[in-house]
Structure 1
Amino acid sequence: MSTTTPRTPTPAPARTRAAHHELEARWQRVWAERGTFRARDDGARRRRYLLTMFPYPSGDLHMGHAEVFALEDVVARYWRLRGYDVMNPVGWDSFGLPAENAAIRRGENPAVYTEANIATQAATMRRYGVSFDWSRRLETHRPEYYRWTQWLFLRLLENDLAYRATAPVNWCPQDRTVLANEQVVGGRCERCGTAVVRRELTQWFVRITAYADRLLDDTRLLDGAWPARILAMQRNWIGRSAGARVRFDVVGGGSARSVEAFTTRPDTLPGAPFLAVAPESPVAAELCSPDRAEALAACRQAALDAGEIARTTADRAPVGTFLGAWVVHPTSGERLPVWAADHVLPGYGTGVVMGVPAHDERDARFAAAHGLPTGSGETWASVDDAVARLERSGRGERATSYRLRDWLVSRQRYWGAPVPVVHCPACGVVPVPDDELPVRLPELAGEDLLPRGRSPLASPAADAWRRVACPRCGGDAERDPDTLDTFVDSSWYFLRYCSPGADDVPFRREDARPWMPAARYVGGGEHAVLHLLYARFVTKVLHDLGWVDVVEPFASLLAQGQVVNRGRAMSKSLGNGVDLGEQLDRYGVDAVRLAMVFAGPPEDDVDWADVAPASLQRFLARALRLADDVAAAGGAAPAAADVAPGDAAPGTRAHALRRTTHRTVHDAEDLLERDRFNVVVARVMELVTAARTAIDAGPGPGEEAAAHAAAVREAVETVAVLLGLVAPYTAEEMWERLGHPPSVAEAAWPAVDPELLDEETVEAVVQVDGRVRDRVTVPADVDADALRAAALATPGVARATAGRDVVRVVVRLPRIVNVVTR
């Protein structure tokens, strides 16, 4: 290997769009032919299940998809290199409103739009090089899938976990359908942004509240494995409150003779001057005197129109009315007025609370607005003392309340799994027998899909589908016209992946056992309450029914940030949208993937305006030239292995390069386990520079050429293996040019020689707010104070912190410093 003559590297020309496509298509064919990414599922290796939140098929993939797929593929490829049998399946959450609204505009069935988008996205996914196991592919809109979604609903129904009830619900006037509480954000539809109103409708609910304690308590199993903020959101949404129920005798008013109030502060009972009731609660109607009925109706409608979120905000004038009823204070005997108050929510506790303005800000605002007394502010010694007094007097007892409400699952839209029951005049609600599933959607299109205030499946266009014989008595009956919320589809899809193609069961317990829980779930934090809570609930139900062995579906969670542009979410109206396809054509897949991973820690937002895929394209070209130089020197791939590690004598250039190579692998392993993927990229860049320097400089005086060549080959092979985590096409090209058979994805994680890890000095990476800004060389045994001082003195940190306050400096000895600014 001739490495004695330094040369000046020439920049490689940027690949054309055609060249990108040709290279990418070639390796896609190789992976497909070899079945490189199929889970073997044979028990020969330890298994790990990697799961990505599956996309909705609306148009092509966008920049957010590009980020999540790049990040999750780092994990998948790393695990394979470590010797795991990895299941990394792919699918689409393909029911839902966008496809239905598009079909109405186009005059077609939603399946046409949906399947065209799936085909487009699938092609982009394959091009993007994500190591999915395509043999496990699923789409939730296909009857072979939603048959089992309907089966799941029937299991909930037969176990008293699904029920039909008339209740105030969230109604989106734009999409003309009901929304679950979790789908209302700031009083608006999370899908279209329209202000949500309240209506009373008969709907299907799932009794998720029956699992409230387990959903809350089991979050302890996820501490340290899920992001703390996600767990906090789950806990807050469940909202368990300990307190007491207090019974009051009613004087006057309507038909009620007694009423119970829930309070978290029973010790404040002595100073309570009034009772407040949710206007839409049935208790309000029972308490209301006939002459106050009209005032209650107006108050009730105002509360429904406002929505639950707006009613509890501090900047809104509190609405209420006196109900013409009084209650007797259980200890003082004083008569207290009873008011309907819209800051009281019907589902919290009993829908009745003690008004204690001296101790509650919302009660104080309400009292001030309606001229009510504020009370004495007197309290008992403690909550426990208060509960004991109530229990001794028979006027109350300890109780628990929850913020969580039962899951509203029925939708008045077409594009979803039909609710699998029929309504029979003689038999009532009758489940469709399992052997008659799936209840298939009828073929409707265009204007027949318009809701018009009811489900399209209740319209004349669906008469033939809707009219059926009762499965129980054989008489005339009708199918339920509602469809199931798409979150029911996604509440169990990760289990279907374990038994692809099963046609007799939704999944087999013996198939799920070695894979579940999923070792890693990757997706956006926007599903912190919605999907994740429902998936946890369904897993617990299936565990109780004997279908799965686990009580939590996802052992760990990686929640990535957003991709923004110029500091703002990408939007056509803002003119800052970025087209993924155009970026792939211009820079190639590898450069875009590398940009996503290198931009910062996964949990941080990526501002596309700040990344430089063109420079990363040049870096990839430099890495590829390393393989060309090694190959040009001659010799088959194993030749360098004939040189023992000890042949690179200490103090030689070869020995220094080997130290850099082995330290890079050692550090990369630690960084990957901690999701510091961006720092791994930085270390690979350093190794590329070290290998380039070694090639150009050649062996040092008295150094054996063979030992130098072996060290160079080892470094370049290591670059190919590590680069394969992020830039698979370039890595495959390098691996092939180095003389290895495909595929680098099937290689082993490089072994590390511990003797090569001892160093006198190390190079520490210095980050500012998670982004690499400089590097500093320090003694290997540097202490935290010295490394902190050295990092803060670097020019890169000075530039990045100019005009900003340094609020914290995080030191991870001896190689990482992160400066946090404000």
Structure 2
Amino acid sequence: MNQNYDFKNIETKWQNEWLKNKLFEVNEDSSKQKFYCLEMFPYPSGRIHMGHVRNYAIGDVIARYKRMKGLKVLHPMGWDAFGLPAENAAIKHGVHPAKWTYENIDYMKNQLIKLGLSYDWRREVTTCSPEYYKWNQWIFLKLYERGLAYRKSSFVNWCPSCATVLANEQVIDGACWRCETQVEQKELEQWFLKITAYAEELLKDCDRLTGWPEKVLTMQRNWIGKSEGVEVDFPIEGLNEALRIFTTRPDTIFGVTFMCLSPEHPLADRLCEDKEALRRIRQLQREPEIKEGIFTGKYAINPLNGERVPIWIANFVLMEYGTGAIMSVPAHDQRDFEFAVRYGIPIKVVIKPKDSELSEPLNEAFEDEGVMVNSGEFSGLPSSEGKKAVADYIEKKGLGKKTINYRLRDWGISRQRYWGTPIPIIYCEKCGIVPVPEKDLPVILPENISLTGKGESPLKYVEEFYKTKCPRCGKEARRETDTMDTFVDSSWYFVRYCSLQNEDAFHKEKIKYWMPVDQYIGGIEHAVLHLLYARFFTKVLRDIGIVPFDEPFERLLTQGMVCMESYRCPEHDYLFPKEVKDGKCIHCGSSVTVGRVEKMSKSKKNIIDPDEMIEQYGTDTVRVFTLFAAPPEKDLEWSSQGVEGAHRFLKRVYALIFKHNKWIREIHISESEASSIGMTEEGHAEPAFYCHSEPKRSESEESPISPIISLIHRTIKRVTLDIEKEYQFNTAIARLMEFVNEVYGYEPKTEEERKVFKFAIRNFLILLSPFAPHIAEELWREIGEEGFILNEPWPTYDEALAREQMIELVVQINGKVRSKIMIPQGMSDEEIVKIALDDEKVKQWVNGKEILKVIPVKGKLVNIVVAN
């Protein structure tokens, strides 16, 4: 055994051994319980970043742990390979998107292998391969057959920078989710998927997802946005038309003083003569801080009181919400109030507080419940009762109907780009819209393509692609040249993993065995994008008989971001960390401004290259640091000192084994001996923690074996519970560090002491292996064990042996003993201080006094200094 921890050779050695022995390959076994662990697959951008490392390390610990617990673990990986970056790279560098993508995949795959991740690479999927996107097209055809895929002309979200359409969910605060360019409205023929057909089920089933973070469920519920109300028709004066509105506040209908239409509303062009102003309003769509409108010069009639109501077009009314037209009641809606004040529109109070009057003119809208006034026969009703009474009246008089509305709108999937799945539709002058027959799938992307990134889909200019024959009549026809939104690719990939690459994508028996995913891991930024779409696709696949379940993911873990402070030079703007030395820019010597800690990003150069970290410290160190620095769901602040600390820990583990290497390999512990260590001759846990075969000692002589037995059982218990309870890997690693600190100076002398020590070390290495698998495998062999440590069962603990040993904690206040508390041995200083401050006796002495200092001493004493 080498004296020095040669992590480079160790990690390369075991990565090769794992692959050679196909250690991570898994097949179905109906006699065993399964566990499907999945991290969101990456876009092959070229290199993995620290966010990837953290995400995949979390998943790998779970997968390794569950395997050692005896479960059949499916842990696959693939590539979300279609998308704009590849096309943009092709335009910029003059390389084909396929070449750029596959080269990136090769590089990133090697990076993932270097991280020691336990993936079954036989199941690897690449969404830009025809073998994969054939099934995107197949699913589309099934949606089309069921009326869930349709084409219509509509105003869509257009990103001028990406030169493509965006789904509603891809517009964040009026900007493109990818490039942050302000989104425009553009009228195009588009393909939509009818996700609204599943709105109620998607909403209802949120209640079943007990393993999901509540924050994500809240975001989905809000996005689906169910609301109960009334649809009412407001006739347009002088036209045989009516504006249909939806309102959840029928109790305020007598207070309507103007109507607002979305700029995208079908009647907008007819009612508004100022086309230039209308165009400007359309460009201001989705600007939440700007409220602009145009008075059309036309009026609607309030059907309940006959009043003429001016019709405006306003940028804040979106066509996808409700009917695209709203009744505006400025006295009782703050947005309407601000609009009315700006444009001098009357404000009419129809709800007043229960026990007072509103002072007019109003300074803001009164949006609370109250009593109806100025509302004809409904005046005097509590507004909560008025909602039902007015709704009943509207239905009775045939003026409208009660209805349920959803904020959710159908998913527009047409994209005017090349690098995506071709939509399998043919247009024939005689037959109209004709789906591509299943036998002709996949519709292959042509390789001979000219990319500009401007305007329409480049496939429109590739004759060998768009020119075809109608499969019905055989006449000349043309193909659809838009491609699918790349979120289609990721809406079902987790099902594809259940079968091997050369097998049917929808092998029902294998899907039934592996699905649903037991633990899914990925960023919260996908809460109403990928996660909602994946739920929708799963329900569709269920309804066409492919999957026998309703939801794809049992548990969801949304890991926190990896964050770091940024550095800025007055001459060179943002700097990479390695460009800063002693607070100075290495290029010009200027003093560097240190920015706040925030998400790592290329634009601010506050990033750390995983390859550089692995080269300097090793994969196991990087894994241990990312898992130890914060709980998985919290943001992680990068710390060079923290990385060095993780490396010192692993070097200390290595040194511990090296220290005992001369004898530890020769110690062999049989299964019967292992199970009897720490037990009495009757097979029960010995309260004093003595090994039954340990030589008798005098009462005054402490056994060196007892504390070791107790320590390893406590460590097994703590690590196991930390993993089982919300995946608290940071505290699990802390337990392992405590174990090493406790045993590092121990020198076993007798044969029995050495057996107990090896028993402890053997179990410690198993506990360490999910977090730092390479060093654990190496040291497993160095202590004389055979086989792979990953194939070992997870150790169990005995409750009696794992019981915390109690010690007396003395609490002093200004140097005088004021309390004594029994606490478990081995608690941290932070835990001890909290216990001391929570003690009732201590509270009596410090109550009302300023605490100047709290000083813990060697885990047995706390001195509290208070002002006199």
Q: In the alignment, residue 145 of structure 1 is paired with which amino acid?
A: Y
| Superposition deviation, residue 607 in structure 1 | 1.5
For 1:730, the equivalent position in structure 2 comes to: 775
Whether the 8 Å contact between 1:657 and 1:694 is mirrored in structure 2 is no
Residue 145 (structure 2) pairs with residue 155 (structure 1): no
Q: Take 2:641 and 2:540, find their aligned partners in 1: how far apart are those partners?
A: 45
For 2:458, the equivalent position in structure 1 comes to: 456
Query: Which of the residues 727, 738, 742 maps onto 1:675?
Result: 727
Query: Which of the residues 112, 125, 149 maps onto 1:125?
Result: 112
Residue 250 (structure 2) pairs with residue 266 (structure 1): yes
| Superposition deviation, residue 781 in structure 1 | 14
| Superposition deviation, residue 763 in structure 1 | 12
For 1:534, the equivalent position in structure 2 comes to: 533
Give the 5 Å matches for 1:379-390.
379=372, 380=378, 381=382, 382=385, 383-390=387-394
Unmatched runs of 5 consecutive residues or more in structure 1? 1-10, 700-704, 765-775, 795-804, 807-822
Q: Take 2:318 and 2:718, find their aligned partners in 1: how far apart are those partners?
A: 53
Q: Take 2:273 and 2:561, find their aligned partners in 1: how far apart are those partners?
A: 49
Give the 5 Å matches for 1:172-211.
172-211=159-198
For 1:773, the equivalent position in structure 2 comes to: none
Give the 5 Å matches for 1:547-558.
547-558=546-557
Give the 5 Å matches for 1:215-254.
215-223=202-210, 225-252=211-238, 254=239
| Superposition deviation, residue 44 in structure 1 | 3.3
Give the 5 Å matches for 1:508-519.
508-519=507-518
Query: Which of the residues 117, 120, 124 maps onto 1:137?
Result: 124
Residue 309 (structure 2) pairs with residue 305 (structure 1): no
Whether the 8 Å contact between 1:177 and 1:413 is mirrored in structure 2 is yes
| Superposition deviation, residue 558 in structure 1 | 0.9
Q: In the alignment, residue 494 of structure 2 is paired with which amino acid?
A: F
| Superposition deviation, residue 191 in structure 1 | 1.7
| Superposition deviation, residue 636 in structure 1 | 4.0
For 1:608, the equivalent position in structure 2 comes to: 638
Whether the 8 Å contact between 1:322 and 1:339 is mirrored in structure 2 is yes
Give the 3-state SS of the residue equivalent to 2:125 in structure 1. Answer: strand
For 1:423, the equivalent position in structure 2 comes to: 427
Give the 5 Å matches for 1:758-797.
758-761=803-806, 778-779=823-824, 789-790=834-835
| Superposition deviation, residue 754 in structure 1 | 2.1
Q: Take 1:32 and 1:266, find their aligned partners in 2: how far apart are those partners?
A: 66
For 2:412, the equivalent position in structure 1 comes to: 408
For 1:370, the equivalent position in structure 2 comes to: 343
Whether the 8 Å contact between 2:519 and 2:554 is mirrored in structure 1 is yes
Q: Deviations over 1:343-373 (max 9, x none)?
A: 2221211112111111101111111112111
| Superposition deviation, residue 572 in structure 1 | 4.2
| Superposition deviation, residue 711 in structure 1 | 2.2
Q: Take 1:182 and 1:763, find their aligned partners in 2: how far apart are those partners?
A: 58
Give the 3-state SS of the residue equivalent to 1:300 in structure 2. Answer: helix
Q: Deviations over 1:254-279 (max 9, x none)?
A: 441x3321111111112222222222
Whether the 8 Å contact between 2:261 and 2:314 is mirrored in structure 1 is yes
Residue 48 (structure 2) pairs with residue 75 (structure 1): no
| Superposition deviation, residue 237 in structure 1 | 1.1
Q: In the alignment, residue 264 of structure 1 is paired with which amino acid?
A: T
Q: Take 2:836 and 2:33, find their aligned partners in 1: how far apart are those partners?
A: 41
Q: Deviations over 1:475-499 (max 9, x none)?
A: 0011111111110011000001111
Q: Deviations over 1:405-462 (max 9, x none)?
A: 11111111111111111111111111111111110111135xx112431001001xx1
| Superposition deviation, residue 42 in structure 1 | 2.2
Residue 505 (structure 2) pairs with residue 506 (structure 1): yes
For 1:816, the equivalent position in structure 2 comes to: none
Q: In the alignment, residue 307 of structure 1 is paired with which amino acid?
A: Q
| Superposition deviation, residue 640 in structure 1 | 6.7
Q: Take 2:667 and 2:122, find their aligned partners in 1: how far apart are those partners?
A: 33
Q: Take 2:466 and 2:483, find their aligned partners in 1: how far apart are those partners?
A: 13
Query: Which of the residues 578, 589, 607 maps onto 2:619?
Result: 589
Q: Name which one, 1 or 2, has greater alpha-carbon Rg.
A: 2
For 1:110, the equivalent position in structure 2 comes to: 97
Q: Deviations over 1:306-347 (max 9, x none)?
A: 232x1xx2x32x222223332332232222222222222212
Give the 3-state SS of the residue equivalent to 1:91 in structure 2. Answer: coil
Question: Between Structure 1 and Structure 2, which shows a larger proportion of helix residues?
Answer: 1
Q: Deviations over 1:360-409 (max 9, x none)?
A: 01111111112111112243532222212222222222112221111111
Q: Against the structure 1 CA distance between its residues 263 and 734, is the aligned structure 2 distance closer, same or farther, given a 3 Å change threshold?
A: same
Task: Name the Cα RMSD after superposition.
Answer: 2.6
Give the 3-state SS of the residue equivalent to 2:517 in structure 1. Answer: coil
Residue 273 (structure 2) pairs with residue 294 (structure 1): yes
| Superposition deviation, residue 638 in structure 1 | 3.2
| Superposition deviation, residue 611 in structure 1 | 5.0
Whether the 8 Å contact between 2:11 and 2:775 is mirrored in structure 1 is no
Q: In the alignment, residue 580 of structure 1 is paired with which amino acid?
A: P
Q: Take 1:610 and 1:737, find their aligned partners in 2: how far apart are those partners?
A: 30
Residue 656 (structure 2) pairs with residue 656 (structure 1): no
Query: Which of the residues 44, 48, 68 maps onto 2:35?
Result: 48
Residue 802 (structure 2) pairs with residue 749 (structure 1): no
| Superposition deviation, residue 577 in structure 1 | 2.1
Q: Against the structure 1 CA distance between its residues 521 and 742, is the aligned structure 2 distance closer, same or farther, given a 3 Å change threshold?
A: same
Q: Against the structure 1 CA distance between its residues 222 and 359, is the aligned structure 2 distance closer, same or farther, given a 3 Å change threshold?
A: same
| Superposition deviation, residue 61 in structure 1 | 1.0
Between 1 and 2, higher relative CO (CA 8 Å, sep ≥ 6) is seen in 1
Q: In the alignment, residue 266 of structure 1 is paired with which amino acid?
A: P
| Superposition deviation, residue 788 in structure 1 | 7.0
Q: Take 2:236 and 2:620, find their aligned partners in 1: how far apart are those partners?
A: 73
Q: In the alignment, residue 649 of structure 1 is paired with which amino acid?
A: Y
| Superposition deviation, residue 719 in structure 1 | 1.7
Q: In the alignment, residue 744 of structure 1 is paired with which amino acid?
A: I
Percentage identity across paired residues of the two chains: 41
Q: Deviations over 1:83-139 (max 9, x none)?
A: 000000110001111111111122221111111100001111111100111111110
| Superposition deviation, residue 789 in structure 1 | 3.2
Whether the 8 Å contact between 1:637 and 1:740 is mirrored in structure 2 is no
Residue 656 (structure 2) pairs with residue 626 (structure 1): yes
Whether the 8 Å contact between 1:419 and 1:480 is mirrored in structure 2 is yes
Q: In the alignment, residue 494 of structure 1 is paired with which amino acid?
A: F
Q: Take 1:471 and 1:583, find their aligned partners in 2: how far apart are those partners?
A: 56
| Superposition deviation, residue 299 in structure 1 | 4.2
Report the more deviating stretch, 785-794 or 724-733.
785-794
Q: Deviations over 1:496-541 (max 9, x none)?
A: 11112355x4311211001111000011111111100100000001
Q: In the alignment, residue 689 of structure 1 is paired with which amino acid?
A: N
Q: Take 2:603 and 2:298, find their aligned partners in 1: how far apart are those partners?
A: 54
Residue 213 (structure 2) pairs with residue 213 (structure 1): no
Unmatched runs of 5 consecutive residues or more in structure 2? 352-371, 373-377, 566-596, 681-688, 692-701, 810-820, 840-849, 852-868
Give the 3-state SS of the residue equivalent to 1:619 in structure 2. Answer: helix
Q: Deviations over 1:43-102 (max 9, x none)?
A: 232101111100010111111111111111110011011000000011000111111111
| Superposition deviation, residue 170 in structure 1 | 1.2
Q: How many residues align?
A: 744
Q: Take 2:802 and 2:112, find their aligned partners in 1: how far apart are those partners?
A: 39
For 1:689, the equivalent position in structure 2 comes to: 741
Whether the 8 Å contact between 2:122 and 2:501 is mirrored in structure 1 is no
Give the 3-state SS of the residue equivalent to 1:178 in structure 2. Answer: strand
Q: In the alignment, residue 715 of structure 2 is paired with which amino acid?
A: T
Whether the 8 Å contact between 1:182 and 1:529 is mirrored in structure 2 is yes
Q: Against the structure 1 CA distance between its residues 573 and 333, is the aligned structure 2 distance closer, same or farther, given a 3 Å change threshold?
A: closer
Give the 3-state SS of the residue equivalent to 2:730 in structure 1. Answer: helix
| Superposition deviation, residue 718 in structure 1 | 1.7
Give the 5 Å matches for 1:329-340.
329-340=302-313
| Superposition deviation, residue 790 in structure 1 | 2.9
Give the 3-state SS of the residue equivalent to 1:693 in structure 2. Answer: coil
Give the 3-state SS of the residue equivalent to 1:251 in structure 2. Answer: coil
Q: Take 2:59 and 2:163, find their aligned partners in 1: how far apart are those partners?
A: 36
Residue 164 (structure 2) pairs with residue 165 (structure 1): no
Give the 3-state SS of the residue equivalent to 1:384 in structure 2. Answer: helix
